[in-house]
Structure 1
Amino acid sequence: MTDHRLLDLVDACDFRTLFIDELGWDNPDRPPLTFDVDGVDYTLNQVAGYKGLRIWRCTTLPPRPVQRQLDVLVGKDNLERLVIFTDEQRQEWRWPRRAQLGSMNAKLVVHQHLVGDRHTHLTDRLRAIELDFDEDLPLVTLLERMRDAFDREAETASVAAARLMGTLYTHLETAGVGEHDATLLLARLLFLLFGDDTDMWKPKPAHAFAEFLRDNTTPEDLHKQLIELFGTLDVDEDDRDLPADSPLARFRHINGGLFHGDLRLPQLPGGFRDALLEASDFDWSVISPAVFGSMFQTVKSKEARRHGGEHYTTEENILKTIQPLFLDEYRERLERAWDDKGQLTRLHNDLAKLRFLDPACGCGNFLIVAYRELRALELDILKRRRDLDMAAIAAGKKVERAQLSLDVTSEIKVTLDHFFGIEIEEWPARIAETAMLLVDHLANQQMTEEFGEAPDRLPIAIAPTILHANALHTDWATVVAPSDHVVILGNPPFIGQYTKTAAQTADTKAIWGARYNGYLDYVTCWYAKAIDFYGAYAGRWAYVSTNSICQGEAVEFLWRPILEAGWRCRFAHRSFRWVTEATGGAAVHVSIVGFDKLTAPVPVLWTYADGGRGEAERHQIPNINPYLCDAITVLVSSRTAPMSESLPDVDYGNKPTDGGNLLVSRDQHDNVATDPIAARYLRRFVGARELIHDLPRWCVWLPGAPETDISASPVLRERVAAVKEMRENSKKAATVRKAATPHLFDERRHPDVDYLAIPRHVGEQRRFFTARRLSPDVICGDANFLAPDPDGFVLGLLSSSMFIAWMRGIGGRIKSDLRFSNTFVYNTFPFPPITREQHQAVTAAAAQIITSRENHPGSSLADVYDPDRTPADVAAAHEELDKVIDGIFGIEGVDDEVSRQQLLFKRYAAMISTKKG
């Protein structure tokens, strides 16, 4: 059947034919349902079903608040259902969004279909729930298909919500409302809009705010009416002095500080009220509070608003932090305690002891998701205890109480006042506080579904502590008392060592004190604060950080105090792409590392293929070292000379600092070459790009050139004069001094023998290092390192799998690409002493690599070492080289990187120990 045929049946409202004849569902098994809502009768007819999952159609399209009420009424006798509301022009398909990953939000997802629309995604959803005529699908499988088909609507709902908020913010900007007041106003409006759609006001009217906007405000006086409303919400209902017929009397007291404090609003543009009314018609119940923060951040950005608000930190990535840090452990305890009420009680009591601190909380996403998941876990505990009570009663045993439909408010032990955040900016701090209140309400709603009763949080008496302050200037112990039960988590600022402001550099030095080293990024301040906060306590903590915290020279200076304080790596996600914006957004490469002082559980390491873009692979391993490798714990220190006496020195290439005047591009080549004097000094120049991609470039290389040659050549004279001017105008004193020798490269380290040109960076996906031997008449730029290599021995060493395994293990990175360092990666390579025969074997294997490359003329190193297209003879040459190098290390048959790294770390530790001895 064609997609158009499906949509034709949808447009004709012929749902029986659609679902039964075309999609293979069963005939209806229930009579029509009629409900009275606000004095209007609505009839719903079942059109199809499958093993208890029923599809209902209402032949009218009531307002969405009424739709929600009707769905609740249907749901009293039909938990799993799809309800379709229709009129002649429009349909709204409503599906109750069930809990995912512990989510408390079980409200409706709506898919709107316009009659005649042939670009709809509805056909994809219908195809997903099509049944073969002989298919006996389990209900749970069909429900999964339904969720996949219809829950996707919630993902696009956050985009729509961001657009609505963006419109409101734009109107506030137009009216000249300052950021503080705009922050406060939108936070309050969000709370009210969400409250309208999540039954927060009981026993007051369900949609009090929307009705107040529609019936009791005007475009001209909206600002005054909102301020009056907010003032009323901040006053206890018994203390209000309102006329009996006041529209404000229907509102409950909110408390909690959200509506406390003055708000300065000018008269708002007429379009603001229209936009607010449109927002009140939106179903805010489908938006997870975990995305409120990112949604509001897009609201503040005009660029983000143009992209429709698709900017967010995914809950999936937050769960990568909280699941291995604590959630998995408590879920596993629940499984073990499933049939033991005493163990269930102990588990519940342990949850009550936990406290959570996010010292860079932003809009609260980590706290929100953690709270949501723990409330879901707690609900499962309460439900299981109830079930055990009921089973005992059925068996004739005496129990003290049975939690079937009783008020379990007193049993809630995971509460908002156990959650703490510190945030430097007011806007996200306010949103974090608001979102936490709302996720608490959703958790209570879920409890109502299970037990019939739940705590009434209005007026708000229990709230999280979100401190608007600089976390680095705050004593965390004044926010939450240190103990073994405090969990610290979050995503501190991504600011690199060389992008810190002067104030941030000063903060870094102050936080680390005598432990400070210039390699430490700004994010490491949060590590130092966590170490100091816990002291002798054995809590647990985890941060999302740039991958610099487990790569390169900084590792030693960050991890040494961590290890000395008794912490171990509990889990880690090795470098992967952390996407913060869905549309046009930059992604940084991060690592997630969690710490504790325990010996169990076994550490878990997640690794990612494809430069951090691939799926995570989970490894349970004995130890995760500071470089996030499955190897012994050892800290590598940079060296000024190679640790192995078998290796020559490696240095930087030649640095021009010439303003481009000593370098010669392709279009400048002929001009220089036709000058007979300049032509004698024209040399091929190789930077990193030229080396890897075999691109043409040249330079004028003038060491030893007499002044008379430079003066006699118009080309050389002009270029050298330009270098002199450029250097004289530099703001760097060292560069100015070099103006005295403008004909020379700023830094010169060129060998007089064949040498190895070593690029500073190598693509993460490459199996082998892309270095090349060059003759001394080719000038190596400072985007490369170089090493004298008259016989090819260094080429053989760096081309080995053993060396690149070491580089992958400890070296720094730029994004996911490997970064070579002479002092850190090369000089620390734990290469054994070798015999003359072994040296010759390496050079012979390196020669074969050169020969195999030459078998592919016209191919650059980038072409030859493309991970998907490396020629077979080149790969074979590298395999023979690996046999030689592996043999020098005393191993045979090793073909995996982890084994090589384990050997290298052990050998490094042994060599360091010998040298210290």
Structure 2
Amino acid sequence: CMLLDLPGPEPATDDPARDGYTFERRVDIGHPDGSVTRGYIDLYRRGHFVLEAKRVSEAPETSRWDKAMLRAANQADTYIRALPAEDGRPPFLLTCDVGKTLEVYAEFTRSGGTYVPFPDPRSHRIHLDDLRKPAIRDRLIAIWTEPDRLDPARHAARVTRELSVTLARLARALEADGYAVERVAHFIKRCLFTMFAEDVDLLPRGRFTALLETMKTTPQHFAQAIASLWQTMDSGGYSPILNEQLLRFNGNLFRDLNPIPLDRDQIQLLIDAARHDWSQVEPAIFGTLLEQALDPVERHARGAHYTPRAYVERLVMPTVIDPLREQWRVVQAAAAALEAQGKADQAIAEIRAFHRDLCELRILDPACGSGNFLYVTLEHMKRLEGEVLGTLADLGAGQNLLEMQGNTVDPHQFLGIEINPRAAAIAEMVLWIGYLQWHFRTHGHINPPQPVLRAFDNIECRDAVLAYDRWEYRTDEAGRPVMRWDGKTFKKSPTTGEDIPDESAQVPVEVYIKPRKAEWPEADYVIGNPPFIGAASMRRALGDGYVDALRGSWNELSESSDFVMYWWSHAADLLRAGRIRRFGLITTNSLRQTFNRRVIERHMNEKPPLSLVFAIPDHPWVDAGQGAAVRIAMTVAEAGEQPGVLGQILSERKSGEDAREI
């Protein structure tokens, strides 16, 4: 504290509620049998951190030392879970080998999730000599004084929103020039990935921005120049336009090129976007904002809104990550026991088997939108993989060999179904940007294997709940198509100023031939945020033809069930049949109402049953498509009769434009 010019802790009192910053803060730890034991936190600052200190006799960076520090982290986590609700959970967990090192873990959502190495597994360990570095001292000062300043999602959200505004201006300008919406979308996607590639050194740093600056003086050559660059990025090799050797990107992104000619002002918009640091973009929200920027209806009517990352994590953690981390703790304990018995080879085999399983898991979002749930799950699985590979390296198993052989968590494991073709294409790119960010965060400036992008076809563009052979237009007696409101275009009421359907936006009524339930690809976990359409609104939003086909194909659901319950029931069928391990879905908080509740009760009461292992019945949410704050429910289900956790929000307040701090 003296080195960093920070106030020191106060002495502990007899009343823990008064001990907001103290040594030896008392906590009462409850156990499953009802007993309570007393513990003492070595150093505690309410709302900031819990610190557990040890004097480890083993040499740092050895296997025994790692185990001792891991035990310290587990002990600190136990103390955090024992803190009273009014204290909340601190964003940081610290472990200290006194006089040697400090290890930093973070969990910014404060929702009971897993604390993970901060800022990443390569740099979360601070040695005594590191305190000479101003950046390290600034990080520690922030942990003590302003911990949320270190939340990368907050900085990335601001940068990402600024980028989306610039891209929306360019999209608007190109559409005004008469270019089709889809062509504009593909063009801007390629531009932005090129900017990202430049900022993470997949392209020579600064060269794409320099090319744009050059093209501003000769805009008539822009389309030819950008086509030359993208053709070389697709195939790899020498780029005449940059006079550099380029990596091979492949992956469908740069195929079928048809670049749009730009004038000076439009090139300047690209330059403005390129000057941002694209390596810091937040994929969890970027996809949503990009989708809105490229959709003329949403861009005009709704503005830029997104679902905060913390909200997404609140479902991702109990659905996928917490079960995986529990399995990892079991494997760690087994491996430690084997190593203690002198069976290091068997310990390595245990950990490698877990890593192999981790790299084979499949996560499905059957309403993936622009991929934010899939990306957040990918990032947390990459964090877990980093810990697994670090343990293997400590045991001498050769971390790099595994990844060189392609045995790593990557985008092919993250499956999506999305009916909007623009969103589906963005989801695939979001996964790759997130994966590459994590690669460079973990491996420094080592390039990934080529091709950099791969066409896994893991995002399917189709309906997730209704399949059919084909559709036709319903016609009237004169053979003309019957028309209806398109379900998404609104206008302002002249009397109330509220949004009301714009009946001039008409689309034909469709008839579906041989409708049936849609199938989902094989997966281990299902997670997502299906559309918020209530039963009473389905015909207006989706059309009579679609709703008749859907309800006729799902006889077991009442016509009074909300649209989201078709996803919920399908996931429940898969779970009870043993085809998935868990599922977690967002629904509106009308889940508790009669007809929706009956869907859940049927699956819980039939044999074999399922159980809700985690639920939050009322939680704030941002419906990005509508630009509106709504209330939702979260449910996580597992097969069999299992205990569950019911989450209740104790307090919430507005935090930023879209989020509420909970």
Q: Same fold (TM over 0.5)?
A: yes
Give the aligned residue type for 1:200.
Answer: L
8 Å Cα contact 1:252-1:459 kept in structure 2? yes
Change (3 A) 1:291 1:99: same
Q: Deviations over 1:751-800 (max 9, x none)?
A: xxxxxxxxxxxxxxxxxxxxxxxxxxxxxxxxxxxxxxxxxxxxxxxxxx
1:549-698 equivalence runs, <5 A? 549-561=591-603, 563-564=605-606, 566-580=609-623, 585-599=627-641, 602-609=643-650
Is 1:332 the equivalent of 2:370?
no
- Three-state SS of the structure 2 residue aligned to 1:469 is coil
Mapped to 2, the partners of 1:313 and 1:21 lie a distance apart of: 40
**Equivalent in 467, 475, 496 of residue 534 of structure 2:** 496
Q: 1:497-541 deviations in whole A, cap 9, x for unaligned? A: 11112244224303412x132211111121233245556225221
> Does structure 2 conserve the Cα–Cα contact (< 8 Å) formed by 1:359 and 1:422?
yes
Give the root-mean-square deviation of aligned CA atoms.
3.8
Q: Measure, in 2, the Cα distance between the counterparts of 1:23 and 1:158.
A: 34
Provide, for residues 161-215 of structure 1, a one-character-per-residue CA deviation record: whole Å limited to 9, x for no partner.
Answer: 12221222122222222111111112111211111111223xxx22332232223
Identity of counterpart residues, as a percentage? 24
Quote the residue 2:525 is aligned against. 487
Amino acid at match of 2:292: T
Q: Residues 163 and 305 of structure 1 are in contact (CA less than 8 Å); yes or no, is this contact kept in structure 2?
A: no
Confirm or deny: 8 A CA contact 2:528 2:584 kept in the other structure: yes
Distance 1:370 1:24, change over 3 A: closer
User: Is the contact made by 2:182 and 2:422 (CA closer than 8 Å) also made in structure 1?
Assistant: yes
SS for the counterpart of 1:493 is: coil
- Confirm or deny: 8 A CA contact 1:183 1:430 kept in the other structure: no
Pairing 1:321–2:315 present = yes
2:411 paired with 1:428:
no
Match of 1:197 in 2: 199
Distance 1:559 1:439, change over 3 A: same
* Matched residue, 1:186: 188
Distance 1:99 1:613 in 2: 19
Aligned residues: 467
Instruction: Please state how far the C-alpha of 1:608 moved relative to its aligned partner.
Output: 2.6
The answer for the alignment partner of 2:381 in structure 1 is 374
**Distance change >3 Å, CA 148–CA 536, structure 1 → 2:** closer
Who is 1:172 aligned against?
174
What residue in structure 2 maps to residue 444 of structure 1? 439
TM-score normalised according to structure 2 size: 0.63
Contact 1:543 1:592 in 2 (8 A): yes
CA distance in 2, matches of 1:22, 1:98: 20
Deviation at 1:147, TM superposition (A): 5.5
User: Does the 8 A contact of 1:512 with 1:528 survive in 2?
Assistant: no
Structure 2 CA distance for aligned equivalents of residues 518 and 504 of structure 1: 13
Q: Which has the higher contact order (CA 8 A, sep 6+)?
A: 2
User: Aligned ranges for residues 77-96 of structure 1 at < 5 Å?
Assistant: none
Alignment of 1:449-848 (within 5 A): 449=444, 455-461=448-454, 463=456, 465-474=458-467, 480-481=521-522, 486-501=524-539, 502-513=544-555, 515-533=556-574, 536-539=577-580, 540-561=582-603, 563-564=605-606, 566-580=609-623, 585-599=627-641, 602-609=643-650
Equivalent of residue 390 in structure 2, options 368, 383, 388: 383
Shift of 1:261: 2.2
* Alpha carbons 1:547, 1:591 under 8 Å: kept: yes
Whichever residue aligns with residue 547 of structure 1, its letter is N
* Residue 310 of structure 2 is aligned to residue 268 of structure 1: no
Is 1:232 matched with 2:229?
no
Quickly say closer, same or farther: Cα 1:322–1:476, change in 2 above 3 A: farther
Amino acid at match of 1:275: L
The letter of the residue matching 1:230 is W
- Larger fraction in strand: 2
TM-score by length of 1: 0.46
8 Å contact from structure 1 (residues 159, 310) kept in 2: yes
SS of residue paired to 1:488: strand
Alignment counterpart, residue 410 of structure 1, candidates 385, 405, 409: 405
- The code of the aligned residue for 2:253 comes to L
Partners of 2:361 and 2:586 in 1: CA distance: 21
**Residue number among 284, 293, 296 corresponding to 1:299 in the alignment:** 293
CA distance in 1, matches of 2:354, 2:4: 50
Give 1:882-893 correspondences, 5 Å limit: none
Q: Are the structure 2 counterparts of residues 503 and 198 from structure 1 closer, same or farther at C-alpha, using a change threshold of 3 Å?
A: farther
Give the letter aligned to residue 210 of structure 2.
Answer: E
1:496 Cα deviation from its structure 2 partner:
0.7
Give the drift of 1:236. Answer: 4.6
Tell me by how many angstroms 1:331 deviates: 1.9
How far apart are 1:325 and its partner, in Å? 1.0
1:275 is paired with a residue of what secondary structure?
A: helix
1:307 CA drift (Å): 11
Cα 1:212–1:598 change in 2 (3 A) is: farther
Post-superposition shift, 1:23?
6.6
Equivalent residue for 1:866?
A: none
Q: Deviation of residue 546 (structure 1)? A: 1.0
* In structure 1, C-alpha distance between the alignment counterparts of 2:215 and 2:564, rounded to whole Å: 50
Distance 1:518 1:228 in 2: 55
Contact 1:356 1:486 in 2 (8 A): yes
Does the CA contact (< 8 Å) of 2:590 and 2:596 recur in 1? yes
Counterpart Cα distance in 2 of 1:172 and 1:603: 52
Corresponding residue SS for 2:554: helix
The structure 2 residue matched to 1:359, chosen from 363, 366, 383, is: 366
Tell me, in whole angstroms, the C-alpha distance in 2 between the residues paired with 1:254 and 1:104: 30
Contact 1:576–1:613, Cα closer than 8 Å, also in 2: no
1:862-889 C-alpha deviation (Å, 9 max, x unpaired): xxxxxxxxxxxxxxxxxxxxxxxxxxxx
Post-superposition offset of 1:434: 0.6
Residue 597 of structure 1, CA deviation = 0.8
CA deviation after TM superposition for structure 1 residue 251, in Å:
3.5
Once residues 118 and 149 of structure 2 are traced to their aligned partners in structure 1, the CA distance between those partners, rounded to angstroms, is: 20
Q: Counterpart of 2:207?
A: 208
Deviation at 1:402, TM superposition (A): 4.8
Q: State the shift of 1:223 in Å.
A: 3.0
